[in-house]
Amino acid sequence: MILPMFGLIATLLVVGGLATLVAVGDPKNARLAPYVGFVSLFATFGALLLCVFLGLIGEAVIRSDAAGALGSFIGFAFGGIGGALFGFDRANRRRRRIDSDVHD
């Protein structure tokens, strides 16, 4: 069960990183790249950081394996959602900045 989760994280990280590079490198021709790139990249980072943080709090502070596992699961879910929302906000700002720039 843990390997598919790592595969999902690795896939989101690679796809998000490549799409972000495309969005930054060629902003006029890449219309959906900011949305795909920023959302998947920040969702991955949010899920990883909150998963590790809440898992460590559950294990170290509460000293319970069940609390650590529950903290990891909740951190993975809410970190992914929060990171995706933050990435969507960044993508909207990037899209507005691309549309407002005047290139000749």
**Six token digits for residue 29:** 């021709």
End-to-end CA distance of the chain: 52
Using one digit for the tens of pLDDT, what is the confidence trace for 41-57? 999 999 999 999 999 99
pTM of the model as a whole: 0.82
Using one digit for the tens of pLDDT, what is the confidence trace for 74-93? 999 999 999 999 999 998 99
Q: What share of the chain is helix, strand, coil (3-state, %, to 5)?
A: 85, 0, 15
